[in-house]
A and B are shown apart, each in its own frame.
Chain A
Amino acid sequence: MAATTADGSKVVGGGEKSNVDEESKMITLFSSDGERFEVTQEAAAMSQTIHHMMEDGCVDDEGVHLPNVGSSILAMVIEYCNRHVASPDEKEDIRSFDAGFVNVEHHTLFDIIRAANYLDVKELMDLCCQTVADSIKSKSVEEIRELFGIVNDFTPEEEAEIRKENQWAFE
């Protein structure tokens, strides 16, 4: 499908935009703080959001602007996508890459989750949400509150009642 950009030039489909190098099929991504990232179309397509943009011809001359993703997080997401399209069949390698990838501070992990949600990268969402879930499993109630920055809004009586309901689960 064809679309006309602001400066009047025609933009058609995925492969004919001026910012896309046809030989290596690259695409430019811009983070919220204006940093520029070159990625292969294949890696970028792991993001369903970008994939749909490319298919619908919404990618303009410059590239894709991602106002919701900062550069350091975008760099990590790109690293994940590059690794996963490079050798999708080497299960053992990918598993150890993934394990290392999520071995970051929790607030970084949460930022990645938000970015992966916005960009709709299902595998990355799965990986990160599972990592957070796994860390919750071993935590006490207080530790869970701290992890998520949650304020306890129960009265002491209410909380005692809940703990009493299933005492064994809190041991």
Chain B
Amino acid sequence: MAEVANPPPGRRAIPLADLPGELLLDILLRLPPKSILRCRAVCTAWRRITTDRAFLLAHHGRQPSQRLLSFVRDVGCNAGCGIIDLNLLDYCVEAVDLRTREFRSVVRFTGNDYSRFDEDDCPFTVHAACDGLLLMSYYDTLYICNPATREWASVRPPSLRTHKIAGLYVHGPSGEYRVLSYREDRRTRTNKFFINTVGSKNMRRIKFGSYSESMRNLLAGGSRSTQFDRPFLSHGKLHWLPQSTPPKNILVFDTVAEEFSWLPTPVETWHVVSLLEVDGTLAMSESRVGTSKVDLWVLQDYKSAAWVHKCRIELPAADIYLIAKHERWTSQVVSADGDVLVDCTDWCTTGWQLHYDRKGNLLRKFQCNPSLSLTTHILKESLLPHPFFRMQQDGSARGPPFFRGL
């Protein structure tokens, strides 16, 4: 251990270049991804440390799990006579770090306007998130991106002209990133589900095993029966809530066994339901529209569908009413610490989003336009390299616009 005796006056202490390896690692692991990228240019030793796979894995493990918010902003310009609508929109995705209450732009670009009343018309979609990777599309092109490094690769198959995306996941045994999609077969009125490994051109169909008739019917209903556009990934399983409310069963896809199954929800769940992860297991937030109580349930066991009521959070309904000016707010627990987001936007009005802690204290409120949507996607940034990004070296391929406005 280098001596740290007091230096004689006028002489600087030993520079930190002599700092023991484990202390330097401790410091570097605390840096956000952007700083790590910068550190790679400091010297060869730092480049070696910050590109080492074990370091990058540890670094990824330390990143906060951030909820993604997606919204659009009108882009106009100020001319002498007022604001001119350019028929352009700023498409934005922001990550919310609930602990620091910071918002950070993850995706931002200017694109064409669309008919705001028809959500299906929106050319930009965040389909899924997994391990710091986002599966997004602009018009008909599907991309997988890492916002921390701004790497991207186009994903095809599936083709968005014929298929809809149901989820992105990492296949445990192989480490491959895979996309689950489905296509409605109008002739037979069924839905076929497909799996494609990112970076591969092969797509294969999932063969249905011995499913019950009601399961077959459910799967045949596609997005009419199940909210496939809002997948929630937890523990190697994809989950989707049904379209019907209150939700009696959650549809689950086991990504290793490649099987669908049902997960009954706790008895008597209310209408406002969302999924999250608490202490590494699947959890569910439920509440009624316009009320002060939000309940958090945690799943103990998939097989027996044993849910445990973890806590009930009380919100100051009177205060919320004063801000919202209506009684149609929806509340959901969004973190293991019991953070609650109360959505007071009510369709056509500019509304508020309120952030409460588990004791019912208002931490923050922010005003947003009605297009704001709290997605089910969680971003946990990662600098790990992926082979499918390196394959996308073709200079002539035009990349997606996602990071141009950042």
Binding site for B on A (CB under 8 A): 32-33, 68-73, 106-108, 110-111, 113-115, 117-118, 125, 129-130, 132-133, 136-137, 140-141, 144-145, 147-154, 159, 162-163, 165-166, 168-170
Contacts and interface: CB of A to CB of B under 8 A. Distances in A.
A165 B390 CA distance: 12
A117 B26 CA distance: 11
A49 B196 CA distance: 54
Given A145-B43, A166-B37, A70 B5 contact: yes
Contact of A136 (B5, B6, B27): B27
B101 interface: no
A154 B30 contact: no
Interface in B173-196: none
Interface in B36-91: 37-44, 46-47
Nearest to B2: A114
A141 B44 contact: no
A170 B41 contact: yes
B120 interface: no
Nearest to B34: A169
Interface string B149-187: 110000000000000000000000000000000000000
A129 B26 contact: yes
A68 B42 contact: no
A144 B4 contact: no
B47 A162 contact: yes
A166 B36 CA distance: 11
Given A68-B1, A70-B4, A168-B150, A113 B23 contact: yes
Task: Choose among B5, B150, B406 the residue with the greatest number of A CB atoms under 10 Å from its CB.
Answer: B5
Given A148-B15, A149-B16, A166-B37, A32 B5 contact: yes
A139 to B, nearest CB: 8
Given A115-B4, A133-B30, A162-B47, A148 B16 contact: yes
Contacts of A132: 27
Given A107-B12, A148-B15, A137 B31 contact: yes
B4 A111 contact: yes
A170 B15 CA distance: 24
Contact of B4 (A73, A140, A165): A73
A68 B3 contact: yes
B257 interface: no
Contact of A117 (B20, B30, B32): B20
A115 B2 CA distance: 10
Given A132-B27, A152-B43, 18 more contacts: A33-B5, A107-B12, A111-B4, A114-B4, A114-B20, A117-B20, A117-B23, A129-B26, A133-B27, A133-B28, A136-B31, A140-B38, A141-B42, A149-B16, A149-B17, A152-B42, A165-B37, A165-B40
Task: Choose among B17, B32, B38, B403 the residue with the greatest number of A CB atoms under 10 Å from its CB.
Answer: B38
B38 A153 contact: no
Main secondary structure of the interface of B (DSSP, over half): loop
Contacts of A149: 15-17
A114 B37 contact: no
A100 B222 CA distance: 59
Contacts of A136: 27, 31, 35, 39
Contacts of B37: 165-166, 169
Contacts of B206: none
Given A107-B13, A137-B31, A153 B41 contact: no
21 contacts: A32-B4, A68-B1, A70-B5, A72-B6, A73-B6, A108-B13, A110-B13, A114-B4, A117-B23, A118-B1, A136-B27, A136-B35, A137-B31, A141-B38, A147-B16, A148-B42, A151-B43, A152-B42, A154-B41, A162-B40, A169-B37
Which 8 interchain pairs have the tightest Cβ spacing?
Answer: A149-B15, A133-B30, A169-B37, A107-B13, A70-B6, A148-B16, A70-B5, A166-B37
B19 interface: yes
Contacts of B42: 141, 144-145, 148, 150, 152
A108 to B, nearest CB: 8
Nearest to A137: B35
A137 B34 CA distance: 8
B47 A33 contact: no
A166 B212 CA distance: 51
A166 B4 contact: no
Interface in B109-164: 149-150
A110 B31 contact: no
Contact of A33 (B6, B20, B40): B6
B43 A129 contact: no
A7 B403 CA distance: 73
A152 B43 CA distance: 5
B41 A162 contact: yes
Given A32-B3, A33-B5, A153 B44 contact: yes
